[in-house]
């Protein structure tokens, strides 16, 4: 029983119809094949991009689709229903555009956002490092200020040079632009002394083109799931970044990163709901066909109740996620609710996908059925964009402050 949606507008209904059409034809037939071959479906993203599905939650003035999160998240759900790795990819792309949209200057937004949202480019988000995942403030990647050329009469700084190694970058090596966080020297401590150049001024956010010199893309990690989506380390070897590509104020980077993650977590929650819905639908279809002891297994109460619990988990995860989205759409604080949604939805996806394997019995344990893949895909959702322990930390800190 596919999801029954309550959508706010006719426009949203037509959008969801378009998404079903495209994902049925472009994603559904390829998901299992490309996942098995660890093949990144770049062309699928181009098709989604041309249809306007990579910029949905951004305003129309900058080339976005002008959709509320309540609608955008349901699109993500439908994409992840056909192919979780693509759902994750769209969510990560949107998160990579978020800092520029929210914190960029009007000139930067006008110059850069339309091309990032036009659909041909794909973004990536470089926050984590090997030793700084849950604790991104411990990052060591550093941007130094490159002084302007005094001979040419440059009074202002020419820009920055980034050095360090980022880890776990979704779309590493296949993205067209990278939103990168790095430590910068304090803006106040100007001057030419080495100490002033390196005095810690916190973290800053930059936009780096994939073609920039000094970027070193490592081979993709060998992951348990989401194998079609490359996750890599990226070496930054004195990578030049013009001053105009600093997003927000110098030192504002950690705030930017955490603000982006609040919205990103809603995206991951929606992807988890889509994946869980798919596992449920596949399990129900199988349970209606498969017969033991003279009847369909869904008619054995012991199994029917398992399916009922799965349905309850999927629908409550969706409700929690959309409730958080509506707060965001209404301009209310939603950080705590986003963490709750991410925690609830990804835990639900883990439980539901595991139970889907159980419903399929021995068949569920083979790679001939996608149930085991769903289970492998669900696991990472409890880990990235803040592990579910970190979500609890966010929630409990909100409670302590209240």
Find the binder of ligand FAD among 32, 198, 255, 387 (CB under 6 A): 387
141 binds ligand FAD (CB under 6 A): no
3-state secondary structure (DSSP) of residue 9: coil
22 binds another protein (CB under 8 A): yes
249 binds another protein (CB under 8 A): no
Find the binder of ligand FAD among 67, 74, 128, 184 (CB under 6 A): 128
What residue has token string 């990032």? Answer: 116
Sorted by sequence, the CB contacts under 8 Å of residue 104 that are 6+ apart come out as 112, 113, 247, 248
143 binds another protein (CB under 8 A): no
50 binds another protein (CB under 8 A): yes
51 binds another protein (CB under 8 A): yes
231 binds ligand FAD (CB under 6 A): yes
- From 12-20, 86-94, 126-134, 206-214, span contacting another protein (CB under 8 A): 12-20
C-alpha torsion angle, residues 225, 124, 55, 61 (rounded to 10): 170
Sorted by sequence, the CB contacts under 8 Å of residue 57 that are 6+ apart come out as 64, 65, 67, 68, 69, 72, 94
Kind of pairing between the strands at 177-185 and 123-126: parallel
160 binds ligand FAD (CB under 6 A): no
Taking each helix axis from N to C end, the angle separating 10-26 and 42-50, rounded to the nearest 10 degrees, works out to 150
Find the binder of another protein among 2, 8, 11, 154 (CB under 8 A): 11
Our CB check for ligand FAD shows the closer of 206 and 286 to be 206
Report the length, in residues, of the chain. Answer: 402
CA 248 vs CA 61, 142, 185, 275, 335: distances in Å:
20, 17, 15, 35, 20
Our CB check for another protein shows the closer of 49 and 267 to be 49
Our CB check for another protein shows the closer of 65 and 133 to be 65
Q: How far is the CB of 16 from another protein (least distance, A)?
A: 10
Q: Annotated active-site positions, please?
A: 385
Sorted by sequence, the CB contacts under 8 Å of residue 392 that are 6+ apart come out as 339, 343
Phi, psi of 361 (to 5 degrees): 60, -140
DSSP secondary structure letters along 61-92 = GGT-----HHHHHHHHHHHHHH-HHHHHHHHH
Find the binder of ligand FAD among 75, 84, 169, 343 (CB under 6 A): 169
Residues 206-225 that bind ligand FAD (CB under 6 A): 223
Residues 327-346 that bind ligand FAD (CB under 6 A): none
- From 124-132, 153-161, 314-322, 359-367, span contacting ligand FAD (CB under 6 A): 124-132
8 Å CB contact between 48 and 243: no
Residues 59-78 that bind another protein (CB under 8 A): 65
| Share in percent of the chain as helix, strand, coil (round to 5) | 55, 15, 30
121 binds another protein (CB under 8 A): no
- From 11-19, 79-87, 248-256, 259-267, span contacting another protein (CB under 8 A): 11-19
Find the binder of another protein among 18, 296, 383, 393 (CB under 8 A): 18
317 binds, among another protein, ligand FAD, none (CB under 5 to 8 A by kind): none
Our CB check for another protein shows the closer of 14 and 216 to be 14
Our CB check for ligand FAD shows the closer of 163 and 387 to be 387
Our CB check for ligand FAD shows the closer of 231 and 252 to be 231
366 binds ligand FAD (CB under 6 A): no
* 157 dihedral zone (left: phi>0; alpha: psi -120 to 50; beta): beta
Closest CA to 168 of 394, 392, 383: 383
User: How many chain residues are in contact with ligand FAD, going by CB under 6 A?
Assistant: 22
C-alpha torsion angle, residues 347, 350, 353, 359 (rounded to 10): -90
Task: Using CB under 6 A, list all residues that contact ligand FAD.
Answer: 92, 125-128, 133-134, 168-170, 223, 226, 231, 380, 383-387, 389-390, 393
Task: Using CB under 8 A, list all residues that contact another protein.
Answer: 11, 14-15, 18, 21-22, 47, 50-53, 56, 65
């Amino acid at each position: 029983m596919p999801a029954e949606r309550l959508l706010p507008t006719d426009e949203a209904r037509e959008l969801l119809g378009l998404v079903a059409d495209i994902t049925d034809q472009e994603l559904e037939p390829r998901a299992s094949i490309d996942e098995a071959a660890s093949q990144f479906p770049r062309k699928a993203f181009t098709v989604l991009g041309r249809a306007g599905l990579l910029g949905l939650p951004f305003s129309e003035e900058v080339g976005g689709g002008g959709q509320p999160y309540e609608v955008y998240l349901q699109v993500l759900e439908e994409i992840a229903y056909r192919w979780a790795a693509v759902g994750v990819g769209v969510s990560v792309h949107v998160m990579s555009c978020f800092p520029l949209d929210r914190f960029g200057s009007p000139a930067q937004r006008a110059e850069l956002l339309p091309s990032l949202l036009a659909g041909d480019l794909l973004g990536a988000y470089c926050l984590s490092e090997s030793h700084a995942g849950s604790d991104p403030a411990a990052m060591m990647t550093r941007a130094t200020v490159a002084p302007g050329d005094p001979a040419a009469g440059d009074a202002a700084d020419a820009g920055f040079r980034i050095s360090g190694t980022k880890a776990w970058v979704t779309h590493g090596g296949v993205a067209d632009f990278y939103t990168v966080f790095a430590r910068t020297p304090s803006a106040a401590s100007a001057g030419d002394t080495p100490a002033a150049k390196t005095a810690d001024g916190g973290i800053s956010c930059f936009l780096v083109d994939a073609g920039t010199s000094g970027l070193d893309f490592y081979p993709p990690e060998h992951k348990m799931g989401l194998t079609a989506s490359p996750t890599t380390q990226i070496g930054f070897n004195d990578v030049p970044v013009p001053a105009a590509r600093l997003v927000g104020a110098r030192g504002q980077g950690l705030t930017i990163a955490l603000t982006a993650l609040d919205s990103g977590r809603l995206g991951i929650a929606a992807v988890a709901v889509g994946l869980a819905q798919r596992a449920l639908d596949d399990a129900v279809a199988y349970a209606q066909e498969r017969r033991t002891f003279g009847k369909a297994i869904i008619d054995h109460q012991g199994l029917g109740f398992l399916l009922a619990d799965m349905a309850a988990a999927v629908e409550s995860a969706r409700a929690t996620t959309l409730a958080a989205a509506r707060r965001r759409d209404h301009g209310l604080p939603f950080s705590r609710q986003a963490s709750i949604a991410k925690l609830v939805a990804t835990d639900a996806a883990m439980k539901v996908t595991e139970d889907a394997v159980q419903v399929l019995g021995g068949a569920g344990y083979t790679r001939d059925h996608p149930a085991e893949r769903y289970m492998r895909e669900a696991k990472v959702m409890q880990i990235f964009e803040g592990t579910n322990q970190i979500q609890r930390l966010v929630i409990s800190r909100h409670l302590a402050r209240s």
